[in-house]
Amino acid sequence: MKKVILAITCLSTILAVSTVFSRDDDIPQKTTSDYIKPSKTELKQILTPLQYSVTQSDDTETPFDNEFWNEKRDGIYVDIVSGEALFSSTHKYKSGTGWPSFYQPLEASNVKEKTDYILIFPRTEVRSTNADSHLGHIFKDGPEPTGLRYCINSASLKFVPKDELKKEGYEKYASLFNK
């Protein structure tokens, strides 16, 4: 019995030590698998009124009068609620619509599509997977290679410049901007 207890103690110690030494505390890691969405009350405290109305009430911000429609810096766009990586400046293009437009998502698994009938005819809405934030809509009038236009509300996004990817926990996307 003493040998079993000694073996368990040794294994526990080895596991604890290896866990401590394998962590990289300087680099925050973004994981969304364990994401728990804040309550509506918490979201109202965290988000601006516009961010809340767009992401939680499916509203649309004003074209040409939003933060990222004309953003030209290299970086990625993440969900303002969950931090899910959604789009990259490498896939952004000037659509002339007044909203940030992308021809594909950065991580297809972080966006989901839903049909809405708000304007009578069906449209394809884009939402973030984990936070279920309303992002915008997809249209079939985009450039090659996809022919799609992800027309996204700036209020649903946080921009992470390429120089801050590591600090913000998105280091795995840095290679997109190595030229």
Q: What is the pTM of this model?
A: 0.81
Per the structure, the count of domains in the chain is 1
Q: Is residue 21 part of a domain?
A: no
Active site residue 10: no
Q: Is residue 10 part of a domain?
A: no
Q: Is residue 169 part of a domain?
A: yes
Q: Which residues pair with 149 in a beta bridge?
A: 139
Q: Is residue 140 part of a domain?
A: yes
What's the whole-number mean pLDDT along residues 16-40? 55
Q: What pLDDT sits at residue 120?
A: 80
From the list 151, 152, 157, 165, the catalytic residue is 151
Q: What pLDDT sits at residue 92?
A: 98
In which domain, by residue range, is 160 found?
Answer: 40-177
Q: Is residue 8 part of a domain?
A: no
Q: Is residue 27 part of a domain?
A: no
What's the whole-number mean pLDDT along residues 51-61? 97
Residue with tokens 């600090």: 167
Per-residue pLDDT reduced to its tens digit, 161-176? 999 999 999 999 999 9
Per-residue pLDDT reduced to its tens digit, 73-98? 999 999 999 999 999 999 999 999 99
Q: What pLDDT sits at residue 60?
A: 96
Q: What is the CATH number of the domain that holds 124?
A: 2.170.150.20
Q: Is residue 17 part of a domain?
A: no
178 SS3 class: coil
Q: Is residue 14 part of a domain?
A: no
Instruction: Say what the alpha-carbon torsion angle 134, 135, 140, 146 is, to the nearest 10 degrees.
Output: -130
pLDDT at 29 over 80: no
